[in-house]
Structure 1
Amino acid sequence: MTGAAVEVRDLRVELGGRPILAGVDLTVAVGEWVTVIGPNGAGKSTLLRAVGGLLAAPGVVSLFGTPIRSLRRRDRARVVATVAQSPVVPAGMSVLDYVLLGRTPYIPPLGRESAADLAAVHEVLDRLDLMDFDRRELATLSGGERQRVFLARALAQGATLLLLDEPTSALDIGHQQEVLELVDQLRRAHGLTVLATMHDLSVAGEYADRLVLLADGRVAAAGPPQEVLTEELLSRHYRAHVRIVQGDHGPLVVPIRPR
């Protein structure tokens, strides 16, 4: 499958009278992994919210060739799934019930989940090695296990576009790798498209096909990780002292002390 999964043209967002995004263009091809990076306050999460339909952006965001304003909420939920930085989890909810929430777009109003919905959830739980946790309360799981459950809910939606907002920010390095390897395997196996935000620049460069650097609400640079993760760009936009080391999969960003 080819074409654009996401097209954003001249996206402008103001919150509280303050410009957050000031004319952002972005294209993500079907099956591509694009990660948005940038300093705090650059507008990364706002961009993802607009793409996911959580912010009003009439006429400037299209998903798989359809303007997002033309998609009803239920239809949009079948196309795009979001994993937020800190998803709200109802107290006492089990893993199975939480992942089943991903089937909401397919359940009629006032209806109940069908056998097909339960089968879809069990398939995802099995794929993510979570079957043994289905009756466990989400609050009792480790960080890496919870992150897999958040992904499971998104995958249970049957969406082909995953929006991941800082998906590993609360995880240790082992769980970071576990979650990101899983996302990449699923992307390749099922033709998913991934649009993510990340603070860890080395991790971003290891997994993304392309990086988009946001600064002051605008795209400051975009391209393969080798073109975006440069000492000059990171010094200018992050005010950081770094050294770039070429790794097996992408540039590694090493912070160094100022002289």
Structure 2
Amino acid sequence: MTGREPAAVEVRGLHVTLDRVPILTGVDLTVAAGEWVTVIGPNGAGKSTLLRAVGGLLPAGAAVTLFGTPIRALKPRQRARVVATVAQSPAVPAGMSVLDYVLLGRTPYIAPLGRESAADLAAVHDVLARLDLGAFHGRELATLSGGERQRVFLARALAQGATLLLLDEPTSALDIGHQQEVLELVDQLRREHGLTVLATMHDLSIAGEYADRLVLLDAGRVVAAGPPAEVLTEELLARHYRANVRVVPGEHGPLVVPVRRG
């Protein structure tokens, strides 16, 4: 990132309170354009809340800026062309087919009361093929397994063509093979098209394998940030996760192995 190029995500002093409970208490975060940053932390740390605020799904005041523009200055249609979110459990319209659901990702490019173009359909079929979902396009979402639905949710976000991709636990319902396929695809698209990725993950080894930087969140604050080798240490994980682990150097990042006590 040059001195003239704005950060993809700039978060300064973000506070979020839900139902009178403080969730985030002064979070600072910067993600460079084209970077992959993954937020980790124990349950209840505020990871999903942070992603929702960055995606404009929670009020963030003046604390969040995307590519140099305050998020509150972006209209919903503008924001949808900039940022796409894959939530942990998105709302699924009853009776909707996979093709129609993924086509919703093209909404920012379709005129009001208009119909999808051949280019929109081509973009959707390309994403479905890349995610091994080509045979599912006519199936109802409700008939798919949890892992299949998770890939459909990602397909909708990728079809949206946004520059910033927010992934909230994108592999939580996937088997190990599809975990690797999905993350490799996201990384390939990031490199080919300059996508910026901000994710949350529970699997620390996978987080360290794919992210350029990790941000460790605990009790609504950033307690560590940096390359995976600096954040995935036995000391930090013991302190903030209360976990007994061994950290082993891997080819692409540290591998975190739980160890039984006693």
Q: TM-score, normalised by structure 2?
A: 0.94
Which residue of 1 is the match for residue 259 of structure 2? 256
Q: Aligned with 2:8: secondary structure?
A: strand
Which residue of 2 is the match for residue 47 of structure 1? 50
Which residue of 1 is the match for residue 247 of structure 2? 244
Say which of 207, 211, 214 aligns to 1:208.
Answer: 211
Which AA in structure 2 matches 1:251? P
Say which of 27, 36, 47 aligns to 2:39.
Answer: 36
Superposition deviation, residue 147 in structure 1? 2.6
Superposition deviation, residue 3 in structure 1? 4.0
Large movers: runs of 4+ above 6 Å: none
Instruction: Judge which range, 139-148 or 49-58, deviates more.
Output: 139-148
Instruction: Judge which range, 87-96 or 189-198, deviates more.
Output: 87-96
| Matches of 1:171 and 1:109, distance apart in 2 | 35
Q: Does residue 112 of the first structure (1) align with residue 115 of the second (2)?
A: yes
Which AA in structure 2 matches 1:173? I
Q: Aligned with 1:78: secondary structure?
A: helix
Which AA in structure 2 matches 1:197? T
How is 1:112-191 mapped onto 2 (pairs within 5 angstroms)? 112-191=115-194
Superposition deviation, residue 18 in structure 1? 1.3
| Matches of 1:188 and 1:8, distance apart in 2 | 24
CA contact (8 A) 2:167 2:198 kept: yes
Backbone CA RMSD of aligned residues: 1.5
| Matches of 2:212 and 2:6, distance apart in 1 | 16
Q: Aligned with 1:92: secondary structure?
A: coil
Which AA in structure 2 matches 1:72? K
Which residue of 2 is the match for residue 234 of structure 1? 237
User: Matched residues, percent identical?
Assistant: 84
Instruction: Judge which range, 83-92 or 214-223, deviates more.
Output: 83-92
Instruction: Judge which range, 36-45 or 164-173, deviates more.
Output: 164-173
Deviations 1:146-187 (A, max 9, x none): 332212111111101110001111222222122111111111
Superposition deviation, residue 108 in structure 1? 2.5
Unaligned runs of 5+ in 2: none
Which AA in structure 2 matches 1:119? A
| Matches of 1:177 and 1:204, distance apart in 2 | 12
Q: Does residue 18 of the first structure (1) align with residue 9 of the second (2)?
A: no
| Matches of 1:184 and 1:214, distance apart in 2 | 23
| Matches of 2:224 and 2:105, distance apart in 1 | 35
Deviations 1:92-135 (A, max 9, x none): 22111011111111222333223332233233334434333221
Say which of 86, 97, 122 aligns to 1:94.
Answer: 97
CA contact (8 A) 1:147 1:179 kept: no
CA contact (8 A) 1:144 1:179 kept: no
Deviations 1:28-48 (A, max 9, x none): 011111000001110000000
The number of residue pairs the alignment matches comes to 259
